[in-house]
Amino acid sequence: MSEDVRPGLQDVVVARTEVATLDLERERIVVRGYDLLELARTVRYPDVAHLLLRGHLPSPEEQAAFCARLGDLAGLPDGVVDVLRRLPAGTAPMDALRTGISLLAGFEDPGVLKDPSVEAAEAMLLRILARAPALTAAAYRALHAEPVLEPNPGLGFAGSFLWMIHGRPPAPEVERVFDRILTCYSEHELAASTFAARVASSTLADPYAAVVAAAATLKGPLHGGANEEAARMFVRIRMAGGEAAAEPYVLERLARGERIAGFGHRVYMRRPDPRAVLLREDLDGFAERDPDAAVLVRCYDRVVETMAREKGLHPNADLPIGLLLHLMGIPVGLMTPIFLCARIAGLGAHVLEQRADNRLIRPRARYEGPTDLRPPEGFTPSRC
């Protein structure tokens, strides 16, 4: 056993995968052989989900069948919304989503939950993927005592998601950007939440448990949540004076030793995140249509310039996504749940890959504590 300890498993390769890789030299995210950015520009999120879960882009017939299946499965089982309405009013949307995914497991046939086959896992993952948007929107609306809306599959996966959040069909240009965000979030190799899902799956836990493990991991502020904090940051800068306030805001926070959300990445380090480069283009469309959006986009550029000069850091995907979702009118509390909904396709691909060639993930630790302690003379055992 090697005694070499890598804190955070940095640069440790723990799995062989055909799902995705981060090609740092060519600044690409490769998903089953395809450039993720090209996919985001040219296909729709359900196509990418099919690619991730089934290993290839769908034919026209497969597209129709896959989209129809997502639509058929999109609604929530009876009783789910009643449970969501019983959650405490202050429940975080991410906690509500995690709870809801656990709840959905109870509607599965117990025999299917215990079935270790890849085929059974794929069927369950498709149900989770299809229902996650409705679960996300229903939880948020239930927590705010608002009426819960049924999915509208005729609007497509992204359009129905926005419909359930806002209660109105989205503008085509907004729906297209939202679809692109879902694709950009769909898969990113072995992020912490993906690793958590693979660890859970390696125990032969069912896919609901694996996705819940990922959801719990994604809630941590060092993984998910950066898009929310980025959105809050731009609102603060706008209220403080707009573009002129952007640089002082960043400098003051850096002087206090604070992190600026949406910058840097464990893998990319000081390289650009390709997703952030792509999504910056979408900000221009909002700026052209809305003067208030134009102010926020100028704030965005000034923040990026300041961080590049002061810290040598580039934005990651969460920076433009946080602002884009804010410009779409998405409540801040829904931004990380949206991240999870999009990532379910990638999580599912890793869960299936783990099942197909499984070995229990069980690393070791290098112990550095004492070894020869004994209970003190006369120590009395507790009575509880």
- Architecture in CATH for domain 16-219+343-356: Orthogonal Bundle (1.10)
> Can you give the pLDDT of all 384 residues of the chain as single tens digits?
566 877 777 777 888 999 999 988 888 999 999 999 999 999 999 999 999 999 999 999 999 999 999 999 999 999 999 999 999 999 999 999 999 999 999 999 999 999 999 999 999 999 999 999 999 999 999 999 999 999 999 999 999 999 999 999 999 999 999 999 999 999 999 999 999 999 999 999 999 999 999 999 999 888 888 999 999 999 999 999 999 999 999 999 999 999 999 997 766 656 788 999 999 999 999 999 999 999 999 999 999 999 999 999 999 999 999 999 999 999 999 999 999 999 999 999 999 999 999 999 998 888 999 999 999 999 999 999
What pLDDT shows up at residue 268? 61
In degrees rounded to 5, what are phi and psi of residue 315?
-70, 145
Tell me which of 47, 179, 273, 318 is the catalytic residue: 318
Tell me which of 35, 115, 166, 223 is the catalytic residue: 223
Between CA 265 and CA 168 the distance in angstroms is: 36
Question: By three-state DSSP, how is residue 315 classified?
Answer: strand
What pLDDT shows up at residue 269? 53
Helix (H), strand (E) at residue 31? strand 28-31
Residue 333 CB neighbour total at 10 angstroms: 16
Q: Is 56 a catalytic residue?
A: no
CATH class (in words) of the domain with range 226-327: mainly alpha
E-strand stretches of the chain:
20-23, 28-31, 34-35
> What residues does each domain of the chain span?
16-219+343-356, 226-327
What pLDDT shows up at residue 204? 95
Q: Helix 156-166 crosses helix 118-143 at what angle (to 10 degrees)?
A: 30
What pLDDT shows up at residue 223? 84
Report CA Rg, the chain.
Answer: 22
Question: By three-state DSSP, how is residue 68 classified?
Answer: helix
Tell me which of 265, 314, 326, 350 is the catalytic residue: 265
Paired strand residues for 31: 20, 34
> In sequence order, what DSSP letters do the residues of 201-245 get, joined into one string?
HHTT--HHHHHHHHHHHHTSTTTSSHHHHHHHHHHHHHHHTTHHH
What pLDDT shows up at residue 3? 67
Q: Specify the pTM.
A: 0.94
Q: Is 318 a catalytic residue?
A: yes
What pLDDT shows up at residue 31? 97
